[in-house]
Amino acid sequence: MGEIEFRLPDIGEGVVEGEIVIWHVKEGDVVKEDDPILDVMTDKATVTIPSPTDGKIKTIQGKAGEMLKVGQVCIVFEVEGGHSIDNSEEKIEEVIEQKEQPKEIKKEPISTNKPAQQIRKKGERVMASPAVRKKAREKGIDLASINGSGPGGRITHLDLDSWKDAGSPVAAAGITRTALSGTKEIPVIGLRRKIAEQMSKSYSNIAHFSYFEEVDVTNLEELRVYLNKNRSESQPKLTYLPFIMQALVKALSEHPQCNAHYMDEEEKVIQFEAINLGIATQTDKGLFVPVVKNVEAQDIWESANEMIRVSSAARDGKATMNDLQGSTFTITSLGKMGGLGATPIINHPEVGILGVHNAKETPVVIDGRIEIRRIMRLSSSWDHRVVDGWDGAMLVQTLKNLLEHPATIFM
């Protein structure tokens, strides 16, 4: 038998280290070549490292949350014969996927079936240990109402739990509430750590200010419904977001200082001609911001198709590096959750972000009379270091006018 020391390979793009997200193997496991052995998260992506050989896992180095440097031994294999491995020839499958959420600690369900109990005669003394009596007092349970399953009819802890869970008069009446004291430690690693770092960097470095507005989208809703009824089979069903994306093309073109990056270290602002819109997407494994690029060159159907593509790829863990980079401005939508307002955190190094809330029927006063209109709320945040309050507010007002007169979006 020989041994192979496998070192963390050069993942490319200037990456010098990565964080261990999850081990797919443990010491003693037997693996085949190309079996996944380790997920490593870099500043670029999460990468699945495959096994370079058939063999048995002798040792592994590091645990989830720890950092590995490129070239550092991360695993030792026992193999037949023994030979060296050139990491540069290894097949590294880049899987641009979200971090696995920390696994829930499973608790065995408490049976709702009462154990076989010995029926206590009327007036017979209740048999129970001091601990059971204390627990019954804390839960507000009358021990006299329970028949014990222990020796001689003694009431056990299981009797208390099964009695309460099975719907005892005490539990059904809601007379008592149980005090809980358990905790669960969830390591902040992988994608969750990256999100935490990015949010902390953004909130700490950027002087946020927020601006809110209401938009009457009654006419926009009529147009949306009409277009959806008359679309072809190849055209996607339109939500509000593609209209907002198209309206932002015009609004950001009129207010180019809002379509920019502020580079902290260089102390300069880079304004972009291209409108690359990040679409904040909540997935089962965390928040991703896939990007719809060059929206200015797309019609509304193309924008909708591309938004669906990159958002679905993010949710399914299939987004590429190109899908996740290059945004110049970000939209975050709370969808049906709605809400009255929010203070979205800017996606650093961008200088602005737009929050979109749900649209709902609302009574409003028009020319002295009350009408029911479809109202949508918008929340925005801006980097006050480079975007003055007037500029941020004016962009939102431009967007409002476009959405309230949707024909102008396409003129």
Tokens 């038998």 -> residue: 1
Given the residues 264, 284, 316, 388, select the one marked as catalytic. 388
For the record, the structure tokens of 288 come out as 């991703």
Residue from 34, 157, 384, 391 carrying the catalytic annotation: 384
Burial of 223 (0-12, 13-18, 19+ CB in 10 A): middle
Half-sphere exposure of 86 (CA within 13 A, CB side): 2
Q: Would you list the DSSP string of 103-166?
A: PP---PPPPSSPPP-PPPPTTPPPPB-HHHHHHHHHHT--GGG----SGGG-B-HHHHHHHHHT
Q: CA 380 → CA 170, 239, 287, distances in Å?
A: 50, 20, 19
The verdict on whether 384 is a catalytic residue reads yes
Q: Is 264 a catalytic residue?
A: no
Helix (H) and strand (E) counts in the chain: 8, 18
Residues forming a β-bridge with 333: 356
For the chain, how far is it from start to end, CA to CA, in angstroms?
74
For the annotated catalytic residues, the residue numbers are 384, 388
